[in-house]
Chains A and B, each alone.
With several copies, the nearest count.
Chain A
Amino acid sequence: MADQASQTREPREIPTAFAIAEALRIAMASDPTVILMGEDVAGGGRRPEGTDEMGGIMSVTRGLVGDFPSQVLDTPISEMGILGTAVGAAVTGMRPVVELMFMDFIGTCLDPLLNQASKFRYMFGGKARIPLTVRTVTGAGMQAAAQHSQSLYWMTAGIPGLKTVIPSNAADAKGLLLAAIRCDDPVVFCEPKGILFLSTDVPEGDYEVPIGKANIVRAGSDVSLVGMGATVGMALAAAAELERDGISAEVLDLRSLAPLDEEAILTTLAKTGRLVVVDEATPRCGIASDVAALCVDKGFDLLNGPVRRVTAAMCPVPFTRVLEEAYMPSTARILEAVRGLL
């Protein structure tokens, strides 16, 4: 179904948030075992006359409870209970989608992912399916400060048995979310703040973007820029700028952080010999290091220079704008890294 995206049709630009809602709507309509659980996902449920619901802090799920009243469940502020309950529901016939409002809150509910959902299938001898999706907002840039701005996907990507995906645009968000919901493995679906309200052309109807496959969003030959989520846009901006200097940059969108598409990374490295990986997360124990480590292991013979990591700084996310900007990766820092390589 993925190729539906390429059929000729009217372009339809909608923000990522709407694309996510569309995916949820399609998933719930096509499968009654799909349920959406989380704090305020219905904005408190059915309201008295003259009031309306919010649909989550980002208004992503607004309007869903009206159309799927028995599939949208507002919960107490009990992340451990919500996620644990969702895992229990997932192994007994449901296909729950949990909204974890911000990924920063994972510290209150990691166990159901770390020790339950991710391990059941393996630990039980291959006899469980865990069709669980966790949607969660990631990233900095909104002055939301240290506890509402982290990109903690490295924590879930590092856990065997989980899958972690992150879209870089609205169309991928819709297709990746549909794929995640229908996957029989537990999938963490990240919603980067940096793209949530950006619009791109989104196909109508039902389609999936496959989990585990990276995507070349721009072809090039001098240097590879590997990004994910909001950093793909930064990489594309950098590539455009580099083109003016006669430097041809290829941009690879990882889309899937676990499993990692090693083949795609090595393929682009083989083409360019130089690689910069751009990650919104802090530098230690993250995706950027994994990409670099892959290059120096299986890709050593392809390397024409160092692999650079452009990441957030190794500190908590500061509130004030000037420090938050210094904290985050940026097009300027990508350019600086590339120019240092060539």
Chain B
Amino acid sequence: MQPTPEILQVAYRTMRTIRSFEEKLIELVNQGKLGGFLHACIGQEAIAAAVCAHLKDNDHVASTHRGHGHCIAKGVDVRGMMAELFGRSTGTCRGRGGSMHIADLEKGMLGANGIVGAGIPLATGAALSAKLRKTGGVGVAMFGDGASNQGAFHESLNMAANWKLPALYVCENNGWGEFTPTEFVVPVKDIAERARSYAMNAMIADGMDFFDVYAKAGEAIARARRGEGPTLLECKTYRFMGHYVGDPLVYRAKADADEWINNRDPLKLFETRVTSEGLLAADNLRSIDEEVTERITEAVKSAQAAPFPDAGELMQDVYAVG
């Protein structure tokens, strides 16, 4: 599956937006301007961009604590997201959710999630819903290598395979769960191996290579839409930053990280390929960069200018009825 230049342009904009959005957050946290627990996905942008390139608003994505990238790639407005992180009433969740709970059901984003593994059954349910309502949609779970050790992973994949649901399970294997290397807690080399337990289709992609993820996710999603059942797609990647913004990173050898950061940056790899193959011009990318920078700057400005919710709203919307 070969992406068109239009798709590549959108994908680059997505990846650059994720990168700039999170670089800005880190800056804001360092300045003491943002509170809460924030998890940056810098280094993993290609996966979100490539998977979501195949999705429409009636396809649903369930995400994780490291969810900014998935939200942006799924079309959630960055102004709303930024306002959310600032806790403003103009935020995507009116300031009530924060980083770990950004959701936008109209865009098919079922939410970041603070519970590791919890998004996996949610996406499974969206897939069941799509199948029963015959919408043609798919349910996509994005989750980490660590989440594949949760019971919810096992139970969901078994159900999805058993019912041949239109689902895609994207494991972003970044080599770490918080401060613990994946190989300390997972005795198999590839998480994709686990699909066999459910006779499920499995693929492994280079998560730093937009093109590889794009092709494999595309194949899996097409398969799901054809009613041929779910796929477990493992994407090998790396978490460039710490587990959370502020992580002192004492536990990781800098040289190991630098190896990835310097040589395997998904944005750089993308740029090298599209320019060398003449798919997109460097100018084009630079003007996207500028446009993105402007959008992010503007988002911060408008967020900071927006009002906080009123304390009197505390008990609103606990229930839909009564």
Contact = CB atoms under 8 A, between A and B. Distances in A.
B253 A123 contact: no
A51 B105 contact: no
A51 B252 contact: yes
Nearest to B94: A125
A85 B125 contact: yes
Residue among B139, B179, B311 having the largest count of chain A Cβ atoms under 10 Å: B179
Residue among A88, A147, A315 having the largest count of chain B Cβ atoms under 10 Å: A88
B120 A74 contact: no
B87 A112 contact: no
Given A81-B152, A129-B320, A33 B37 contact: no
Contact of A320 (B123, B184, B308): B308
A35 B100 contact: no
A146 B162 CA distance: 33
A320 B315 CA distance: 14
A45 to B, nearest CB: 6
A191 interface: no
Interface in A121-160: 121-130, 142-148, 160
Residue among B100, B152, B184, B310 having the largest count of chain A Cβ atoms under 10 Å: B152
A54 B316 CA distance: 39
Interface string B32-44: 0001110000000
Contacts, number: 308
Interface string B127-142: 1111011010001000
The range of chain A's interface size is: 35 or more
B195 interface: no
Contacts of B3: none
Contacts of A51: 250-253
A155 B159 CA distance: 27
Interface of B: 35-37, 60, 62, 84, 87-88, 91-101, 103-106, 110-111, 113-118, 120-130, 132-133, 135, 139, 146-147, 149-152, 154-156, 158-159, 162-163, 177-181, 184-186, 248, 250-253, 308-311, 313-322
B84 to A, nearest CB: 8
Contact of B115 (A57, A91, A147, A323): A147
A316 B125 contact: no
A323 B128 contact: no
Given A43-B251, A93-B129, A94-B132, A78 B150 contact: yes
Given A107-B115, A147-B114, A70 B94 contact: no
15 contacts: A45-B184, A73-B163, A76-B162, A81-B159, A84-B156, A85-B124, A88-B125, A124-B96, A127-B106, A145-B98, A314-B318, A319-B96, A321-B35, A323-B314, A326-B314
A322 B124 contact: no
8 smallest beta-carbon distances between A and B, as pairs:
A88-B125, A84-B121, A81-B155, A320-B87, A319-B98, A147-B114, A126-B317, A125-B94
Contacts of B122: 84-85, 87-88, 91, 116
Contacts of B181: 44
Given A74-B185, A185-B320, A120 B121 contact: no
Contacts of A304: none
Given A320-B309, A326-B311, A39 B178 contact: yes
Residue among A73, A92, A127 having the largest count of chain B Cβ atoms under 10 Å: A92
Nearest to B163: A73
B97 A124 contact: yes
Contacts of A39: 177-178, 180
Contact of A116 (B118, B135, B316): B118
B156 A81 contact: yes
A172 to B, nearest CB: 18
Contacts of B115: 104-105, 107-108, 111, 115-116, 147
Interface string A30-54: 0001010001100111011111111
A84 B156 CA distance: 8
